[in-house]
């Protein structure tokens, strides 16, 4: 382990690491554009200059190897002058369009310019004009803003393995482009927008949608597959404007897939179930007279699954069935990122609580009991958006003497149910999911649900209280402690906790 002195402080460091990584880990400020922790270093923006004892000139820290007894400074007039000169050079052809740029407010070029500002430009010549055009169905490039850091090009090569992007032209005409006739349209494509350090690559779905300083960011977890990528939800006026990945080395590194990122349409959909019929307490009253069966989807949170099981026990219900959604095979990318085939976020906990065999049987036992008359009542708790209810379930459920439905979107059974409870989406409640590797992670309420919606963990508890099966209604966190007593929300933190949960 070499020992170096960083800004006067002695450190033992990993000899394989480059200087910039060490500086950033130690909390030293070193501006950088082209370096990204999830990509191979390229050393082409020249912004990460530092002073090292074994060199007379300033050095590019993202490419500089450490050596024993090296002394490193990240601050000082000479270093500031070097960075200022690099920035002036990068800004020569950059337009002053921050007022209409979607990156404004979270742009490294803006931030470093503020720190090292000259205030005036010494460039009297005309600026070079580079292309503004679509690079793919979701991505548009403003070439004039591009500083050719090549993060996006390296992402497509190293992480997605698709290599659609390249740099064309030379010198100050250099700009990122696609090969003719081959747009960037891979399942991870929108990550290039997140890692663009300036506003060159823009997500067309977020274009002119919000000024980021007016928005609210909420930490959460993507619910579109069993991987549970860590995300931030950007909200303006109770409307989800975008999802972005939040780094978690154990789950999604720095990335998320486009399908998960864009799968928010149902939250503000006109097809939301908003007509509430009957009351949840009718389930308790009817449960005393009729034999119930229950169906639960693997979209439900840990808290909801725990309460649903308790309710089934309190009602002395018969069969419990499961709605799941599995599509194709898991997709693994060269950079290690995985999109799971299971398109629901919490199958692992359902398997732990009810048994994998029960989950794998799906709805068949419930349909059988309804058809034979062994069950006369049905409680259906779905929540998987856009999952068409199976025709045999619809037919059998219509024959039930009592039907209670809790779901997000309108469906044929909600239209005929005796009790309808409009459900909340993953963005409208607090709770937890267990991902495919048994990692328990938190979701947070980012937007308010429609006024008629009921948080599932609340109404399930109300029914249990009415049945005398629990003393009181508590928060989602309180229910979580009952479900997994060894954990608490604060122990889970923002990166989740690995458990011995089930992996198929």
The minimum distance between CB 48 and ligand FES, in angstroms, equals 3
Q: Are 369 and 292 in contact (CB under 8 A)?
A: no
The minimum distance between CB 33 and ligand FES, in angstroms, equals 5
* Two tokens, residue 173: 């005409």
Name which of 33 and 459 has its Cβ closer to ligand FES: 33
Name which of 35 and 489 has its Cβ closer to ligand FES: 35
What is the 3-class SS of 53-89, one letter each residue? CCCCCCEECCCCECCCCCEEECCCHHHHHHHHHHHHH
From residue 314, give the alpha-carbon distance in Å to each of 311, 358, 469: 5, 19, 6
Of 38-46, 126-134, 374-382, 470-478, the segment contacting ligand FES by CB under 6 A is: 38-46
The minimum distance between CB 86 and ligand FES, in angstroms, equals 9
Exactly one of 2, 26, 43, 140 binds ligand FES (CB under 6 A); that residue is: 43
Name which of 149 and 305 has its Cβ closer to ligand FES: 149
131, with CB counted inside 10 A (0-12, 13-18, 19+), is: middle
* Two tokens, residue 197: 């350090």
The minimum distance between CB 21 and ligand FES, in angstroms, equals 11
Q: Is 389 in the site for ligand FES (CB under 6 A)?
A: no
Length of the chain: 504
Exactly one of 19, 34, 296, 420 binds ligand FES (CB under 6 A); that residue is: 34
CA nearest to 151, candidates 32, 25, 17, 26? 32
Name which of 60 and 311 has its Cβ closer to ligand FES: 60
Name which of 44 and 411 has its Cβ closer to ligand FES: 44
State the DSSP code for 143.
G
Q: What are phi and psi of 183, to 5 degrees?
A: -70, 160
Rg of the chain over Cα atoms, rounded to whole angstroms, equals: 27
Name which of 107 and 284 has its Cβ closer to ligand FES: 107
Exactly one of 22, 60, 359, 427 binds ligand FES (CB under 6 A); that residue is: 60
CA nearest to 245, candidates 174, 335, 183? 335
Q: Is 28 in the site for ligand FES (CB under 6 A)?
A: no
Q: Is 48 in the site for ligand FES (CB under 6 A)?
A: yes
Of 44-52, 89-97, 191-199, 362-370, the segment contacting ligand FES by CB under 6 A is: 44-52
- Helix, strand, coil percentages (3-state) for the chain, rounded to 5, are 30, 20, 50
The minimum distance between CB 382 and ligand FES, in angstroms, equals 48
Neighbours of 364 (CB within 10 A): 14
The minimum distance between CB 498 and ligand FES, in angstroms, equals 33
Q: Is 85 in the site for ligand FES (CB under 6 A)?
A: no
Q: Is 62 in the site for ligand FES (CB under 6 A)?
A: yes
CA nearest to 31, candidates 197, 159, 203, 196? 197
Q: Is 139 in the site for ligand FES (CB under 6 A)?
A: no
Q: Is 33 in the site for ligand FES (CB under 6 A)?
A: yes
**Rounded to 5 degrees, what angle do the CA atoms 361, 364, 368 make?**
145
Q: Are 489 and 477 in contact (CB under 8 A)?
A: yes
Of 28-36, 125-133, 173-181, 380-388, the segment contacting ligand FES by CB under 6 A is: 28-36
Q: Is 387 in the site for ligand FES (CB under 6 A)?
A: no
CA distance 351 to 359: 6
Of 43-51, 236-244, 245-253, 350-358, the segment contacting ligand FES by CB under 6 A is: 43-51
Beta-carbon contacts of 504 under 8 Å, excluding residues fewer than 6 positions away, are 351, 356, 436
Exactly one of 4, 6, 39, 46 binds ligand FES (CB under 6 A); that residue is: 46
CA nearest to 429, candidates 307, 301, 311? 301
Name which of 44 and 162 has its Cβ closer to ligand FES: 44
Chain Cα centroid distance, residue 252: 9
Exactly one of 22, 24, 28, 45 binds ligand FES (CB under 6 A); that residue is: 45
The minimum distance between CB 481 and ligand FES, in angstroms, equals 45
CA-based end-to-end distance of the chain: 40
Of 29-37, 289-297, 363-371, 472-480, the segment contacting ligand FES by CB under 6 A is: 29-37
Q: How many residues bind ligand FES (CB under 6 A)?
A: 12
Exactly one of 4, 24, 35, 192 binds ligand FES (CB under 6 A); that residue is: 35
Exactly one of 6, 19, 47, 319 binds ligand FES (CB under 6 A); that residue is: 47
CA distance 369 to 391: 16
The minimum distance between CB 62 and ligand FES, in angstroms, equals 3
Q: Which residues of this protein are in contact with ligand FES, per CB under 6 A? A: 32-35, 43-48, 60, 62
């Amino acid at each position: 382990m070499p020992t170096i002195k960083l800004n006067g402080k002695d450190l033992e460091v990993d000899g394989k690491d480059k200087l910039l990584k060490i500086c950033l880990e130690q909390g030293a400020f070193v501006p950088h554009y082209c370096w990204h922790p999830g990509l191979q270093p390229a050393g082409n923006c020249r912004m990460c200059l530092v002073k090292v004892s074994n060199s007379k000139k300033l050095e590019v820290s993202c490419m500089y190897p450490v050596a024993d007894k090296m002394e490193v400074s990240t601050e000082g007039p000479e270093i500031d002058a070097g960075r200022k000169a690099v920035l002036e050079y990068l800004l020569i052809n950059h337009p002053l369009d921050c007022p209409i740029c979607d990156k404004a407010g979270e742009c490294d070029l803006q931030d470093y310019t503020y720190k090292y500002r000259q205030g005036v430009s010494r460039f009297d010549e005309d600026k070079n004009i580079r292309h503004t055009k679509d690079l793919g169905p979701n991505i548009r490039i403003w070439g004039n803003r591009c500083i050719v850091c090549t993060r996006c090009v390296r992402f497509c090569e190293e992480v997605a393995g698709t290599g659609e992007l390249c740099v064309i032209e030379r010198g100050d005409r250099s700009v990122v482009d696609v090969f003719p006739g081959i747009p960037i349209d891979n399942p991870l494509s929108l990550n290039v927008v997140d890692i663009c350090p300036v506003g060159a690559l823009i997500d067309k779905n977020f274009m002119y949608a919000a000024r980021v300083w007016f928005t609210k960011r909420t930490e959460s977890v993507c619910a579109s597959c069993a991987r549970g990528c860590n995300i931030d939800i950007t909200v303006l006026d109770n409307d989800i404007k975008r999802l972005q990945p939040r780094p978690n080395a154990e789950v999604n590194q720095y990335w998320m897939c486009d399908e998960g990122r864009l799968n928010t349409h149902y939250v503000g959909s006109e097809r939301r179930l908003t007509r509430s019929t009957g009351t949840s307490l009718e389930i308790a009253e009817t449960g005393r007279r009729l034999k119930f069966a229950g169906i639960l989807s693997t979209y439900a949170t840990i808290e909801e699954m725990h309460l649903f099981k308790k309710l089934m026990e309190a009602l002395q219900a018969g069969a419990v069935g499961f709605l799941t959604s599995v599509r194709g095979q898991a997709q693994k990318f060269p950079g290690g990122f995985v999109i799971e085939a299971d398109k629901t976020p919490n199958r692992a906990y359902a398997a732990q609580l009810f048994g994998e065999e029960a989950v794998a049987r799906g709805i068949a036992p419930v349909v059988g009991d309804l058809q034979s008359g062994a069950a006369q009542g049905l409680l259906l708790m779905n929540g998987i958006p856009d999952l068409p209810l199976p025709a045999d379930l619809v037919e059998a459920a219509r024959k039930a003497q009592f039907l209670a439905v809790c779901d997000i979107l309108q469906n044929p059974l909600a239209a005929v149910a005796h009790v309808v409870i409009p459900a909340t989406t993953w963005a409208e409640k607090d709770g937890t999911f267990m991902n495919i590797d048994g990692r328990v992670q938190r979701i947070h309420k980012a937007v308010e649900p429609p006024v008629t919606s009921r948080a599932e963990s609340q109404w399930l508890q109300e029914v249990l209280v009415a049945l005398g099966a629990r003393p009181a209604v508590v928060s989602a966190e309180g229910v979580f402690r009952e479900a997994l007593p060894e954990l608490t929300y604060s122990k889970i933190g923002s990166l989740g906790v690995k458990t011995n949960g089930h992996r198929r």
